[in-house]
Amino acid sequence: MRIPFLRCAAQLLTALILALPLTPPDAARAAELIKLTVGAMPITGQAKFFVAKERGIFLEEGLDVELAIFTSGADGIAAFRAEKLDAGAFGTATPLAHISRGEDALIIAGIMGQDSMYITTPERADSVRSVKDLKGKKIAVVRLASGDVVLRWALQQNGLDLKKDVEFIELKNPTAVIEAVKKGQADVGALWGPYDQGAEEKGFKVVLDSADLLPGHPCCRLIVRTGELNSRGDVWVRLLRSLLKAEFYSRSGDPAHRENTVNDIAKYVKLDKELIRNAFYGARLDQSTDPNASGLQKIWDIMNFIKVIDSKDDIQRFIEPGPYKTALESLIRESPDEPFWREALAVLNERDTVAKGGGRSDIHWEYK
């Protein structure tokens, strides 16, 4: 009679154990995770955020990252200004305009480059074979998107007057741009990936590519506030290690990694997976995490030239590549034979030696 009693006691003890909350090590680990809210956009070019989140890479680096998704760079910058975000990536021109107004922001990394396209209807496609063919056309844009700034510069470089020879229709988002072209309210629309893929699926034609107008131009950059960088330098190194690992993972030739990358993007970008695959692994998109200070200088000069900003500041003072370099060097130490990291370091040394953020007296971050 004692054996059934012992069995019942054992079963009761097991049930009590299973009902307990997190074990102390798990609870301690959860408590140690550093919480960050990072602004991002639902586009293929920001895949490294999605991969780092879905593959558990942020967790590996001790980060609990919440992605705040914005369809408009202007809305993202507004949230950044209101200090609702710890960091954010919203185009190139939008954060540069933010900086030109004296707002506090430092660029510490890149997210993507190029990947802006210009679409029209099949009926109009033959009439737009070059930038000069846009004379007399109505152009729908999202103001201060990279494709908007690059196109305005290219028009001026080709002798067109931005006020007399073309008409810009400024809209809130790429969906509104597509609709304006569809309804005939605009002749051409400026988009970015993967919206061009969706537009082509609906019958629109891509007639120009920003990679041809300004090869290698940067797009989304990662920004933080000066105080955040100074007080939590090690956190940003962890974040950039995460993004670099995600870039490495997504650019791997491993078919499983590529399939996982497409699936991860699809959780944030509501588009057919085959279109996502074509957009992300196509030739147009530059996936580098490098800050690209030299490319940013070009965009800064262009924005002043086309008069969307008026600033005599040295933009290099607002680019701090130190956390990115520290993150990259730590990955090289961990995998010294991996050529991917060495190639990234060579790109950093080529593009970012002009950055002067580290020379400012108010920037004094450190890596612990």
Report yes or no on 2 lying in a domain: no
| 170 and 277 together in one domain | no
**22 confidence band (pLDDT: 50, 70, 90):** very low
For the ranges 128-132, 167-171, 180-184, 283-287, the lowest mean pLDDT is seen at: 283-287
In 3D space, the residue among 113, 95, 112 whose CA is nearest the CA of residue 104 turns out to be 95
Report the pLDDT value the prediction gives residue 29, as an integer from 0 to 100: 56
More confident residue, 270 or 318: 318
Q: Which residue has the tokens 């010294």?
A: 336
CB 313 within 8 A of CB 360: no
| 335 and 237 together in one domain | yes
The alpha carbon of 294 is separated from its chain's Cα centroid by a whole number of angstroms, namely 18
**31 confidence band (pLDDT: 50, 70, 90):** low
| 270 and 327 together in one domain | yes
| 100 and 128 together in one domain | no
Backbone angle region of 56, left / alpha / beta, with phi > 0 → left and psi within -120 to 50 → alpha:
left
Last residue of a domain, one of 184, 213, 242: 213
Report yes or no on 149 lying in a domain: yes
| 264 and 340 together in one domain | yes
The stretch 76-97 carries a mean pLDDT of: 95
Report yes or no on 7 lying in a domain: no
What is the number of structural domains in the chain?
2
Q: Could you tell me the two tokens for 247?
A: 């870039």
The alpha carbon of 337 is separated from its chain's Cα centroid by a whole number of angstroms, namely 28
**144 confidence band (pLDDT: 50, 70, 90):** very high
The stretch 337-352 carries a mean pLDDT of: 95
Distance, in Å, from the CA atom of 249 to the CA atom of 172, rounded to the nearest integer, reads 33
What share of the chain has pLDDT > 70, as a percent? 92
**48 confidence band (pLDDT: 50, 70, 90):** very high
Report yes or no on 106 lying in a domain: yes
| 181 and 308 together in one domain | no
Contacts of 238 (CB under 8 A, 6+ apart): 34, 61, 62, 63, 327
φ/ψ of 309, rounded to 5, equals: -135, 165
| 187 and 293 together in one domain | no
| 123 and 244 together in one domain | no
| 69 and 154 together in one domain | no
| 206 and 274 together in one domain | no
| 70 and 208 together in one domain | no
Last residue of a domain, one of 213, 231, 260: 213
> Is pLDDT at 150 greater than 60 in this prediction?
yes
Report yes or no on 245 lying in a domain: yes
Report the pLDDT value the prediction gives residue 288, as an integer from 0 to 100: 95
Last residue of a domain, one of 192, 213, 234: 213
Report yes or no on 12 lying in a domain: no
List the CATH number of the domain containing 195.
3.40.190.10
Report the pLDDT value the prediction gives residue 23, as an integer from 0 to 100: 42
In 3D space, the residue among 177, 160, 63, 83 whose CA is nearest the CA of residue 121 turns out to be 177
> Is pLDDT at 179 greater than 70 in this prediction?
yes
> Is pLDDT at 45 greater than 90 in this prediction?
yes
| 100 and 237 together in one domain | yes
Q: Quote the domain boundaries for residue 303.
A: 35-113+219-359
Peptide bond into 174 cis (omega under 30): no
Mean pLDDT, the chain, as a whole number?
A: 91
Distance, in Å, from the CA atom of 287 to the CA atom of 280, rounded to the nearest integer, reads 9
